[in-house]
A and B are shown apart, each in its own frame.
Chain A
Amino acid sequence: MIIQRNYSPSALPKGTDVAELTSRIIGPLTLLIERSGIDQDNALGLRVHLDWIQYKTCFRDPVVVRRAVDQQEQPLPLSEIAIDLRQAATPKFEEYLTAAVESLKGIPASNGQDPFVLDTFKPWRESIIWPFNRLFWQQLGDWEAYAKRGFEAALPSGGSDANHPDAVKEGVVEFWELLHDLDKRGQLPHDIYAMEIGVGSGARARLWLDQFQTFDTEKGTGYYPRLKFLLGDYSPSTLDTALAAVGPHAPLCSVIPIDATNPFKVLSFLRFKILFVHLTNVYDNLTFDEIARRDNQLYIVEVRPYVSAANAEKIQAEFGFDRAQLPGAIKRLLAYGPESVGEHEKGMAFWTRIWDVLRLEERLRAIDEGDDSHLPKGVSRSPLDDVLSEVPHDIRFHLSRGAAESFVNTAALLHPRGYLQVQDIFVTSIKDYVHGFRGPGKLDGSFVTWVNGAFLHAVGARAGYHVNFAPFTHRKGSKTQVLYTKRRD
């Protein structure tokens, strides 16, 4: 048995006696394993991962079992038990532990009730969380009304770092300085293009435009009237809201329905023309995968959605389905929205309930060295190789596909002196993945995942950019980092 501690004690809440907690778990677990009759080879190779999952809600039960399979889905002699220490105090923790050990032998749950499995194993990028995520953003208003609070209130800080006036002012001054420098050299284009991707309510864009106009007026440089400000979002209704929010600046603004992973697709006519692109909390909600390395073999993490038997029963009783109808109801919910399940209130209740109890079983599927299908589109294997050359042999990390694609397809629009700024939660050193769980966790009806900044750094280097990160300093305790690009010479 190999015990792996995946957290840094310093990151845990004050007063956590993690040594005591761990010993309370490892003792019974060892007994369970020793007495379970598990094959000795399997017992010797069994990895026990101790995690501390910060999210209040996530997709994992307190104890889960992960198995490894080869590319043809045949079992490999590698199994893992992952334990969330944060949930160790849960009343049924020992039951979870027992069930996990029994399942290593292929024995069904001791109460005879197997989880209700909703789909097959798939990589994260193709998993069920994406239709849930899409539904949430499409029907955000309904969710907020039902939950009786705005989405931003669900953020750990109770608000977004996007709209901090001092941060916006700092960005405005930086941008003005770039324009001024180009102007001095006679290289300032007549049309000054700037863009906000994931514009949301439009509050940040409004603030930015207000401050830019004021600063430009103070300086008397006349850049503001030359500004072409692009408001980008994938939702047309969001864009309508954002356009209304920018108020008097609307004549300078264009709304662009945009896929954040590929802005170039609709804006190719602005290739090498945009001087500034900003995104806040967009990358953390784009597609990702997880890669694990165990004994020098790479695996992609695949997940399979399930609802525990007990929860499935409760939902069936509450909403009047029988067991066979449940998958169809979920399918309808994701395809057509809550009203497809019943009248609005019932549909909303079903949606929030299912999301609340949804869990994902994980397995590790070996990656064929010659298979590049897990790589983001437009990104070669080299950045991943760069990252892997720096990490410990045993590690699990995000392959932030959507963020990498977005980066590459946004950089293609940048003017030679243009730059990209992204406010988000980044893991800036790949080694930090061994120090804590980085998501995904549930956030209202959506989810949030840390973004692999180290991978973006490597992607940027191959695309001609230095990618640097700086902490967001305008709010104490903020976990936000700001990604800055600078052209590599």
Chain B
Amino acid sequence: MASQLPPLPTTVIGSYSMPAWLERAKNDFLQRKVSRHDLDEMYDAGRKAAIKDQETAGIDIISDGELHRDNMIDYFAERIPGVLIDHGSKRLYYDFYDSVVRSKLATGSLGLLEEVRFLKKFSQRPSKISVSGPHALVKRIRNAFYPSEEAFALDLARVMNFEVRELVREGATHIQIDEPYYSGFPEDLPWAIKAVNALVDGVSAHVTLHICYGNRYGKPSFEGTYRYLFPQVLEANVQALSLEFARRGEDDLQLFKEFKVPFTLAMGVVDVKTNDVEPAGLIADRIRRALGVIPAERLMINPDCGLVHLPRDIAFNKLSAMAEGARMVREGLK
């Protein structure tokens, strides 16, 4: 973790509140009513505002809000050389394109470096780039070439590894791999972890593996407990595990004790599926309960998942409360 960070550093999962006007513009773009140039200008304005909101709320490690991403799949599917996209297959930006792989993926730039440059240009804060994990992509991109999901995932990881290394070369210090589908397909875990390791091979940054229960349309895709992750997840070559606890309760914290988990826990302390803003005191209590299991130097603080579905004022207030809750607990650590 970068040395300038305070104890219990706060961060986001990636996405920030999507303004309704930008949603409309994205949908209009799909119907050719808005030009690429105009949409890009709107993205820039939205991303700058997202950065400013996070800084004002007191977040230590920020993102660009990911407002230029349609969703966690299409943004990557469109960039990975060899994935074929049917651009007429969706009317609403948040839907998924029909995408398919019919031949071996080529190695090439995914164009993510712009995100690092943008963040460096408009903020002095440490920042994070989120990358959808190979398992998530395999579950959404139709495979018409590889002999197995595992083979597909490993080759995706190979292609993406090249880009992630470039991100670090460009200055990225925090990388997050998003894997929201593990919880629905626990049987995939052995090869899914292998793919994560291929993706982060040789990546010299702080890597977080974010595993949630899904957040499509602000709703979970699955239910259950994180017990299925263990012990296989311990084989992941990452520094931190990001798990959701605010919505689901903190019972699964005990798994960290039971399995002597060596990772930092990036703990979800803000429920992103409700507009109710948790008071800072409640968030502080959640953090304190985690400290009963995990030492402070291995604890990071973040929302359960991305903030994309929350209204902007709610997202901002939630982040502010989270930063304040972390500050309250830090006071007690002195």
Contacts and interface: CB of A to CB of B under 8 A. Distances in A.
Interface of A: 186-187, 189, 271-272, 380-382, 414-416, 461-464, 487-489
Interface string B20-59: 1001100100000000000000000000000000000000
Contact of B220 (A272, A381, A463, A488): A272
**Looking at A415, A416, A489, which has the most chain B CB atoms within 10 Å of its CB?**
A416
B214 interface: yes
List the 7 closest A-B pairs by CB distance, nearest first: A464-B217, A416-B220, A416-B221, A416-B222, A464-B219, A272-B220, A187-B224
B248 to A, nearest CB: 10
Contacts of A462: 92
Interface in B201-247: 213-214, 216-224
Contact of B96 (A186, A271, A487, A489): A489
B95 interface: yes
Contacts of A381: 20
Contacts of B140: 489
A382 B223 contact: no
Contact of B214 (A415, A416, A461): A416
Nearest to A411: B219
B220 A464 contact: no
A382 B217 contact: no
A382 B219 contact: no
Contact of A380 (B20, B92, B96): B20
Interface in B82-134: 92, 95-96
B223 A415 contact: yes
B96 to A, nearest CB: 7
A488 B214 CA distance: 12
Contacts of B23: 382
B216 A488 contact: yes
A464 B92 contact: no
A187 B223 contact: yes
A461 B216 contact: no
B20 A416 contact: no
Contacts of A187: 222-224
Contact of A464 (B20, B216, B224): B216
A408 to B, nearest CB: 11
B96 A416 contact: no
Nearest to B216: A464
Given A187-B224, A462-B92, A488-B216, 13 more contacts: A272-B220, A272-B273, A380-B20, A382-B20, A382-B23, A416-B213, A416-B219, A416-B223, A487-B216, A487-B219, A487-B221, A488-B217, A489-B96
Contacts of B224: 186-187
A189 B217 contact: no
B216 A189 contact: no
Contacts of B27: 382
A489 B223 contact: no
A292 B27 CA distance: 25
A289 B69 CA distance: 36
A185 to B, nearest CB: 8
B217 A489 contact: no
Interface string B235-270: 000000000000000000000000000000000000
Contacts of B24: 382
Contacts of A272: 219-220, 223, 273
A279 B264 CA distance: 47
A60 to B, nearest CB: 37
Interface in B295-318: none
Contacts of A487: 216, 219, 221
Contacts of B223: 187, 189, 272, 415-416
Nearest to B214: A416
B311 to A, nearest CB: 10
27 contacts: A187-B222, A187-B223, A187-B224, A189-B223, A271-B273, A271-B274, A272-B219, A272-B223, A272-B273, A380-B20, A382-B23, A382-B24, A382-B27, A414-B219, A415-B223, A416-B213, A416-B221, A416-B222, A416-B223, A461-B92, A463-B217, A464-B219, A487-B216, A488-B95, A488-B216, A488-B217, A489-B216
Nearest to B139: A489
Contacts of B222: 187, 416
Contacts of A461: 92
B63 to A, nearest CB: 23
A489 to B, nearest CB: 7
A272 B271 CA distance: 13
Contacts of A189: 223
B305 to A, nearest CB: 14
B143 to A, nearest CB: 16
A414 B223 CA distance: 12
A463 B273 CA distance: 12
B101 to A, nearest CB: 18
A111 B273 CA distance: 63
A463 B222 CA distance: 17
Nearest to A189: B223
Nearest to B23: A382
**Looking at A380, A461, A489, which has the most chain B CB atoms within 10 Å of its CB?**
A489
Contacts of A463: 217
B144 to A, nearest CB: 19
Nearest to B222: A416
Contacts of A271: 273-274
A460 to B, nearest CB: 10
A54 to B, nearest CB: 34
Nearest to B219: A464
A415 B214 CA distance: 12
A308 B51 CA distance: 64
B267 to A, nearest CB: 20
B157 to A, nearest CB: 23
A416 B223 CA distance: 7
Contacts of A380: 20
Nearest to A381: B20
Nearest to A378: B275
Nearest to B221: A416
Nearest to B224: A187
A463 B274 CA distance: 14
A414 B92 CA distance: 23
Nearest to B217: A464
A124 B282 CA distance: 44
**Looking at B24, B217, B218, which has the most chain A CB atoms within 10 Å of its CB?**
B217
Contacts of B218: 464
